[in-house]
Amino acid sequence: MNDDRARKVFKMTFASIYPHYVAKIERKGRNKTELDAAICWLTGYDDEGLESQIHQQATLEEFFSQAPQINPNAPKIKGVICGIRVEEIQDPLMQKIRWMDKLVDELSKGKTHNEKYS
């Protein structure tokens, strides 16, 4: 991903992508509670913190920089998102964003973060 495109992704708000995550997992019979659990597992936010980030319109850059603690098992998240292996992404912020995307992807396929990465 080129630098201009990456910067655009970093400036997207979490609030703008969250409804897309919800819609994706709900189409597959999952629910918002499961989604929130996966995102909280990755970032260390609690439900209140997650809602606060949405309300504050935090960019993805802010969302991850303010995250209480990235789960130490997050580097175990492997696989392909947008044609790129998440474990090979060099930019730390982009890797965190793609880890979140991968968790959402797996949740929509019936897998949970607890089954795979804990």
Q: Has residue 118 been placed in a domain?
A: no
- Give 85's strand partners: 80
DSSP secondary structure letter of residue 13: B
DSSP β-ladder status, 80-81 and 84-85: antiparallel
**Could you read off the pLDDT of 38-66 as tens digits, one per residue?**
999 999 999 999 999 999 999 999 999 99
Q: Has residue 83 been placed in a domain?
A: yes
The model's pTM: 0.92
Residue 26 belongs to what domain range?
Answer: 3-111
Identity of the amino acid at 95: Q
**Could you read off the pLDDT of 65-77 as tens digits, one per residue?**
999 999 999 999 9
Among candidate residues 109, 82, 118, 110, the one with its CA nearest the CA of residue 6: 82
Q: Total domain count for the chain?
A: 1
Half-sphere exposure for 12 (CA within 13 Å, toward CB): 14
